[in-house]
Structure 1
Amino acid sequence: MFIDSRTIEENKLIRADVCIVGAGVAGLTVAQEFIGTKVDLCILESGGEKADKATQSLNWGKNVGLPYYSLDSARARFLGGTSHFWIINLPDRGMGVRLRPMDPIDFEVRDWVPHSGWPFNKNYLDPYYKRAQQVCRIGPYRYEPQNWIDPGIRDELKFKDDRINTTIFQFGDRNVFFKDYADAVKKADNIRTFLHGNAVEIETNEQANEVRRIKVKCLNGNRFSIAAKIYILAMGGLEVPRLLLLSNKIQSTGLGNGNDLVGRYFMEHPHLWCSAFFPENIKVSNATALYGIFKKHQTAVMGKIALSEHTLRNEKLLNWVTSIHPDYDLSYRNFMGYDKPGVAACIEIKNNLKKKAPFAEIIRHFGKLSADPKSILQFIYRTTASHYKNIFDRARQITVYRLNPMMEQAPNPQSRVSLDDEKDALGQLRIKLDWQLTELDTYTMTRAQEILDRVLQKSGLGHLLIETQRNAVPKGIHGGWHHMGTTRMHSSPSQGVVDPDCRVHGIANLYIGGASVFPTSGYANPVLTTIALVLRLADHIKAILYE
């Protein structure tokens, strides 16, 4: 049942067994697990079934660190949450998101990655990953390339060096969450979803070790509260720390923040368009079909190029992966010969004549003309011919690709979310985001490309033109709307906000579901791991309630 919070009786107390704050991917997944049970569950969602500007503006905040997206556009504050932002075009004309589990090494304590390590290993999470595959309605829990190749059609690039390998991503359709699961929750007899209601404070007992209620406020001024046995915060990696920090009446630094950890360790997946990849020949270029999006086993998949685990250990790097994308503009310029010495000289002479440059400046290019007549004649023919027919075959004459890496960010306590002085329309302090990278982050960006370049050359596959520099944050670096780490998981309250069960340390009935609990990020999109974790959380809460 969907209920408009704006119509609830003023100051009414709503009671339930479980209260989930946030109806995005995490919140809807948990709710799905309780459909048809005897558990009286309610969901509190800030937005409605569609986006509206007034609600979305509550997300606004300041970026005070590295350049980042406007915070009101980096999150979707309505039913379905960020699944509305999954906009990768799929082969069946739908839109979706990249999915894969994190790698085993991502869960380990690594001596070269400060603050690394999860309370459990990947094997422990594997059963939940398998269930997450079903939740996302994607293919089998197999991510080895051999399960997805078609010999002679889609093969792995043959790397003659085990420092580099091929990995696989699957793609899930976004409609599964904001349409199918939202509709299932709406029809569930045991679930009430309160739309247009904003959690503004978590009220606890005097010892701040048990939540008593969630205070709710609407943009029309209406107020009420929700009291439950168990509470789950599932509003994403920026709003969860915000609400904890705002709930400071008993614990002055904010709930769960006795050790100044709430909001710290903000991680993204740094993305960057970089490095031109020049295949050795057209045969190599035509062998890259595995590295585009295609469909197999009724699932959209895509191959990517990654650093091997032993490379990460030997080189002491963060996890890194890259997709490769045809660069049609550069391939066309390469096909036409714009960079050939003779053609470049012709262009310089033409430009100098236009500028009426001194004759000495013009004549100095003449030597290159006589040294490269073949390129000039080819350029003249292809330029003329292109007026009458498209002699450049986009499908068969791609000679340049662009890398689009996505990498792990090192946990960094100085990269953080905190409260600002400015207030929103509800009178709540807004947030400010200070996204920061470390030397290990910037070093990995370039070193990974250097390793790939060496392996490509050694394998006779081509080479890279590397455009980044070690230990310098490159221009154009951006995130993926992946907000992780701000309520990190650790067995000790001195090093984490939540325990291995995702329960806030020191508070008996408050849990967090989402990527904000990640101690490290790996390079994989956080969705599949988030779903695996909240499925595990749902099982844990069922066990508590059914006892």
Structure 2
Amino acid sequence: MTASGTAGAADVCIVGSGPAGAILAASLAGRGHDVVVLEAGPRFAFESRTARMDRALRPEHDDLDVWDMGGPRDRYTSSGPYEYDLNRHRVKGIGGTTLHWGGMTPRLHPEDFEMETRHGIGRDWPISYEDLEPYYLRAEEAMGVAGEPNRFSGPRSGPYPLAPAESSYSDEIFAEACSSLGIELVPKPLAINTEPYDGRSQCVGYGTCSPVCPSGAKYDASVHIRKAEERGARVVTRAPVQRLEHDDSGERVVAAVHATPDGDTRRQRARQFVVACGAVESIRLLLLSTSPQYPDGLANSSGVLGEYFMEHPGGGLVGRVDEPTRQHLVGYGTSMCEQFYDHDSGPEGSFLIDFGNNAGPEPIDLALEQLSDSGRIIAGDVLAPFEGDPWGDALQERLSEEYGGYLRCNGWVEQPPRRENKVSLDPSKTDDHGNPVPDLTLSFDGPESVILERVRDLCREILEECGATEIHGHWSPDDPYVGSHHMGGIRMGRDPAESIVNAELRAHDLSNLFVSSSGVFPTCGAANPTLTIAALTLRLADHIHGRLSDG
């Protein structure tokens, strides 16, 4: 690539337009600051979402097709014991992975910030739940979270902005069984509108929330990119940042060097820089930004950049009951259980239980795999199942029999941070710009394997109480499902010798470089990370605004 110039200096340059980058850009631009956002991927037209839903439903497409993932741009390797599917649930483009997410938004619990002090696990966060709580509330308002306070979560200073979703029919079956077992279910907090909110419609029931919401009722970060642009921010798409450059002293970042679609490069200057492109790509960008002062990666004087990476392992059990369960009327479950989100029974870790609303074989799979005419369907003869049954009554009856009586119970487990779980660079494989790709080394053979066994047993007990039979599911402690929640690797802390950023998310080594990502989490709890990312970002926005205002 050839250099093609240097853009004028902005107040803030943000790398990435997912929830962190988008919310930060909207907040700072709204307070009069000159903001530039550099996004590696494209801008997706809202009108394309019905077509993307169609891709999600058709068997000739896979998960990557929905949001145009895959290929040289998105290469990675997985060299650890666990074969990690990095691209399965991530998106590169305006809105980032919130275009694909399920919308679940629980808060971390107060003890999650003090795991070293309380249980000798990992390192304490340099901030407390009380420090973050008002920003949790602001994040819920910004995203439009529908929920209801419950006694198992941390204290709140205000209500949710929206009432919780009405309990699904299948969740009512679970509620009765759990009540008999002394297990308390609570409404699942979801960034999905239960009524019109912030210019977006309420949920209309497409049922494909993950991977795509055609109505826009589910929050995604394109909402805040739009707000940021309305407030004057400049958003540059198809501009993957290749490296960050610092001054001669190594104390300040001076430019973000990004590629352009025509093969050139440009340098974006700014007073403050924020890396907000997801945990894995944020780690990778810092590792790629080497110099004589930082031979092991920018801001990596501690040598721990990329280490202590974490995920949420888990699994699901499915059982069949002798009654309709009305699955997939909406694309999300409405209830969860935080009752076991504690360490009273030992230091293995905490966990969440939630309940799927799409259990059992997919109707498409039934049509393709079980009907005698499946080959003709694949060949394009969509009328094959209806021959001799022009109204499709027999097919509907069969689908009802095969699909209508399933229940799913899921569990998600905290993974304690371990140094050997990490993101590094693989120089043997490169992306479309010739840069080493990220390599993930991950295993689940620590304390989380013990708690996974416990969660599996609890899910089985709940399903049996529901009267379910034929209980089955993939649940192996050494080969679990993962939540595709990328956390750690750029951890925050007070000690520069063992962390990358401080309590304000500023790199210990540089005075104007910040990271806003779940990569900064010192420990991960069992709660989905997106709401905490948003809360940390709003806190960071206040901090950067203060710095810029002070000159």
Shorter chain as denominator, the TM-score bin is 0.7 to 0.9
Aligned to 1:60: 75
Deviations 1:282-322 (A, max 9, x none): 7xx89x99x99879xxxx87112345345x22232311122
Matches within 5 A, 1:119-268: 119-139=126-146, 142-143=149-150, 154=172, 157=177, 159=179, 164-173=183-192, 175=216, 176-189=219-232, 191-249=233-291, 250-268=293-311
CA shift, 1:136, in A, is 0.9
1:125 counterpart SS class: helix
Cα distance in 2, alignment partners of residues 474 and 135 from structure 1: 38
Whichever residue aligns with residue 248 of structure 2, its letter is: E
Whichever residue aligns with residue 245 of structure 1, its letter is: L
Cα distance in 1, alignment partners of residues 478 and 522 from structure 2: 25
Change over 3 Å in CA distance of 1:315–1:72 after alignment to 2: closer
Matches within 5 A, 1:373-522: 398=405, 401-421=407-427, 422-450=429-457, 473-475=477-479, 477-522=480-525
Counterpart pick for 1:49 among 43, 49, 58: 43
Residue ranges of structure 2 left out of the alignment (5+ in a row): 45-65, 154-162, 193-212, 362-392
Deviations 1:504-527 (A, max 9, x none): 112111000111111122222211
Cα distance in 2, alignment partners of residues 515 and 83 from structure 1: 13
Cα distance in 2, alignment partners of residues 391 and 58 from structure 1: 43
1:541 aligns with 2:547: no
Aligned to 2:51: none
Aligned to 2:204: none
Contact 2:123 2:523 in 1 (8 A): yes
Change over 3 Å in CA distance of 1:157–1:416 after alignment to 2: same
Aligned to 1:302: 334
Aligned to 1:322: 353
Task: Return 239-248 or 135-144, whichever deviates more.
Answer: 135-144
Cα distance in 2, alignment partners of residues 37 and 405 from structure 1: 41
CA shift, 1:109, in A, is 1.8
Change over 3 Å in CA distance of 1:113–1:277 after alignment to 2: farther
1:420 counterpart SS class: strand
2:315 counterpart SS class: coil
Residue ranges of structure 1 left out of the alignment (5+ in a row): 1-5, 89-96, 330-385
Q: Which has the larger radius of gyration?
A: 1
Deviations 1:93-117 (A, max 9, x none): xxxx211111222222256563143
Identical positions, percent: 25
Q: What is the alpha-carbon root mean square deviation over aligned residues?
A: 3.9
Cα distance in 2, alignment partners of residues 387 and 301 from structure 1: 29
Cα distance in 2, alignment partners of residues 307 and 440 from structure 1: 20
Alignment TM-score, normalising by the size of structure 2: 0.72
CA shift, 1:455, in A, is 8.2
1:526 aligns with 2:532: no
Say how many residue pairs are matched. 458
2:482 counterpart SS class: coil
CA shift, 1:70, in A, is 4.2
Aligned to 1:82: 97
Cα distance in 1, alignment partners of residues 145 and 282 from structure 2: 29
Whichever residue aligns with residue 75 of structure 1, its letter is: R
Whichever residue aligns with residue 224 of structure 1, its letter is: R
CA shift, 1:413, in A, is 1.1
Cα distance in 1, alignment partners of residues 143 and 466 from structure 2: 36
Task: Return 120-129 or 319-328, whichever deviates more.
Answer: 319-328
Task: Return 74-83 or 167-176, whichever deviates more.
Answer: 167-176
Change over 3 Å in CA distance of 1:121–1:52 after alignment to 2: closer
Counterpart pick for 1:38 among 32, 36, 44: 32
Alignment TM-score, normalising by the size of structure 1: 0.73
Contact 1:100 1:525 in 2 (8 A): yes
Cα distance in 2, alignment partners of residues 121 and 293 from structure 1: 39
CA shift, 1:205, in A, is 2.3
Whichever residue aligns with residue 78 of structure 2, its letter is: N
Whichever residue aligns with residue 246 of structure 1, its letter is: L
